[in-house]
Amino acid sequence: MTHVFHRHLRHAPKLAVAASGMTFRDAEGREYLDASGGAAVSSLGHGHPDVIAAMHAQIDKLAYAHTSFFTSEPAERLADELIRTAPQGMSHVYLVSGGSEAVEAALKMARQYFVEIGQPQRTHFIARRQSYHGNTLGALAVGGNAWRRAPFAPILVPATHVSPCYPYREQRVDETPEQYGRRLADELEAAILGQGPDSVIAFVAETVGGATAGVLTPVPGYFKAVREVCDRYGVLLILDEVMCGMGRTGTLYACEREGVVPDLATIAKGLGGGYQPIGAVLAQGKIVDAMSRGSGFFQHGHTYIGHPVACAAALAVQRVIHRDGLLAKVRSDGEAFGAMLREALGAHPNVGDIRGRGFFWGVELVSERASKAPFDPALNLHVRIKKEAMAQGLLCYPFGGTVDGKLGDHVLLAPPFIASRGDLREIAARLASSIDAVVRGATT
Ligand code: PLP
């Protein structure tokens, strides 16, 4: 009997014993090709010698220093590096230990900003349906899955949810992508006006939707229109790049492609590449200035913020990404990966959509292509696909079934940036074979 409180209480996970490059090994000696980097975490794959060396060197010198007494060299250098490569306008980095913590800190930063500048009546967040921002209470409140919020609904901060940018299901046939993006921005504006523009703190969105939406890339112009709406009412824009940031889509920040700069951006996952738990909030100068002119203090903090070993690991990850030209690789191999997925899965009668950017792809399953009807959630297709893929030696990230009772199943792919074209081809082939086996079994 295990004494670990596993999240899935009815089926214990397999025991992982080692991982190297693109491959995981379990206690029974089985090997798995890592097609999802956990949940879009392991950007450099496993056991990267440069990251391990940087962590060793740091732990030998200084493993921990509490931030109420000290800063550390790796924290300072990492923040410099992140600002050097961040969208223009970002000036400060608040270091935390993961994605939910980053979102939580960003929400509190946004709220405190308005308190500092004399607008304490702003108490409301607007976010999107089918989004995921983490599992702490603040992050859960803005997250867009009603079923996930349900048990905690009475104790969450106030948030309203508008439509995600989901062209496959929600763009009308008589609309161009630009018109669709404009319509969504109008919906946001209506939500701000409905709430009362002076009471809204921020609009929160993943730049490219991740886990609970099967990779939703925004239509051209959507985020520019959103930025304009936010600016019109003094509402802050918080972009959550915990999953899609740090090179995952082929640019360091996904918002670079959208031509917008948020007021606050959250990053995690690929920041430390899985070598250490680390996340961060990037803030525009006006947020930090308001606090330094006002109370002089951000009313927040955790024991492990700015952890020296985590910062050293993240710095090493960032250096490898730049030194090895991995952003350009993700862009070009990402295109090729998309083509491989289309070739392997595009003709399958139960594959409705294949979409993505860089090394971030989603495959959406439907019971029928013409109507786009999802499979019955009771079939638990995503769970079966995960199991079958593992049996075929593939780690991918399926999700779905019960997303607000209407969305179907999809599979998220987020391979390490070091994946060769051969690895990518193998991922596409094993995924196609796993999906086919499960769908046939479920429908016959
Ligand atoms: N935000 C996004 C977009 C995410 O995808 C996730 C995790 O999947 C989080 C926040 C929460 O991050 P963490 O699981 O590190 O707390």
Give the integer Cα–Cα distance in Å for 17 and 29.
9
Residue 443 to residue 440: CA distance in whole angstroms: 5
The number of the ligand 1 atom at minimal distance from the alpha carbon of 98 is 15
Atom of ligand 1 nearest to the CA of 39: 8
How remote is the CA of residue 102 from the centroid of ligand 1, in Å? 9
- Strand order, beta sheet including 279-284: 90-96, 279-284, 264-267, 236-240, 200-206, 124-128, 159-162
Residue 94 three-state SS: strand
Residue nearest ligand 1's atom 7 by CA: 134
- The pLDDT of 375-403, averaged and rounded, is 89
List % helix, strand, coil for the chain (3-state, nearest 5).
45, 20, 40
pLDDT at 204 (0 to 100)? 98
Q: What's the confidence (pLDDT) of residue 25?
A: 96
135 C-alpha to ligand 1 centroid (Å): 8
The tokens describing 421, both together, are 């074209």
What's the rounded mean pLDDT across residues 387-416?
Answer: 86
Q: How far apart are CA 77 and CA 307, in angstroms?
A: 13
CATH 3.30.70.100 correct for 16-34+325-443: no
* Order of strands across the sheet that contains 31-34: 16-20, 23-26, 31-34, 394-395
- Encode pLDDT of 16-59 as tens digits: 999 999 999 999 999 999 999 999 999 999 999 999 999 999 99
Unique residue bearing structure tokens 């990850």: 317
CA-to-CA distance for 37 and 185, rounded, in angstroms?
33
């948020």: which residue's tokens? 262
Give the pLDDT band of residue 9 (cuts 50, 70, 90).
confident
- Do 157 and 199 meet the contact criterion of CB atoms below 8 Å apart? no
Question: Class of 51-323 per CATH?
Answer: alpha beta
Mean pLDDT of all residues in 368-391: 92
Which conformational region is residue 118 in: left (phi greater than 0), alpha (psi within -120 to 50 degrees), or beta? left
Mean pLDDT, range 153-178, rounded to an integer? 96
**pTM score over 0.80:** yes
Q: pLDDT: is 404 or 342 the higher one? A: 342
Whole-number Å distance between alpha carbons of 247 and 270: 8
Pocket probe for ligand 1: among 96, 133, 145, the residue whose CB has the most ligand atoms within 8 Å is: 133
Number of C-alpha atoms within 13 angstroms, CB side, residue 63?
3
Instruction: Note whether 94 and 128 are within 8 A (CB).
Output: no
pLDDT tens figures, 241-293: 999 999 999 999 999 999 999 999 999 999 999 999 999 999 999 999 999 99
pLDDT at 10 (0 to 100)? 83
Evaluate if residue 407 carries a pLDDT over 80.
no
> Cα(125)–Cα(105) distance, rounded to whole angstroms?
14
Q: Phi and psi of 279, rounded to 5°? A: -145, 175
| pLDDT higher than threshold 90 for residue 12 | no
Residue 403 has pLDDT above 70, yes or no: no
Q: What does pLDDT average to over the chain?
A: 95
Burial environment of residue 323 by CB neighbours within 10 A (0 to 12, 13 to 18, 19 or more): exposed
pLDDT of residue 69: 96
For the CA of 103, the closest atom of ligand 1 is 10
Predicted confidence (pLDDT) per residue in 155-165, tens digit: 999 999 999 99
Q: Is the minimum distance from the CB of 98 to ligand 1 under 6 angstroms?
A: yes
Strand partners, 209: 216
- The burial class, CB within 10 Å (0-12 / 13-18 / 19+), for 241 is buried
- Structural element, H or E, at residue 240: strand 236-240
pLDDT category of residue 441 using cuts at 50, 70 and 90: confident
Q: 213 CB less than 6 Å from ligand 1?
A: no
Q: Is the CB of 99 under 6 A from ligand 1?
A: yes
Report the alpha-carbon distance of residue 367 to residue 443 in Å, rounded.
Answer: 9
ipTM of the complex: 0.99
Residue ranges per domain, the chain? 16-34+325-443, 51-323
- Per-residue pLDDT tens digits for 290-330: 999 999 999 999 999 999 999 999 999 999 999 999 999 99
pLDDT band at 404 (very low <50, low <70, confident <90, very high): low
Kindly give the distance from the C-alpha atom of residue 44 to the centroid of ligand 1, in angstroms, as a whole number.
Answer: 18
What residue spans of 146-246 are helical by DSSP H? 146-149, 167-170, 177-195, 222-232
Give residue-wise pLDDT tens across range 330-341.
999 999 999 999
At 406 the pLDDT is 58
The rounded percent of the chain whose pLDDT value lies above 70 is 98
Q: How much of the chain exceeds pLDDT 90, in percent?
A: 89
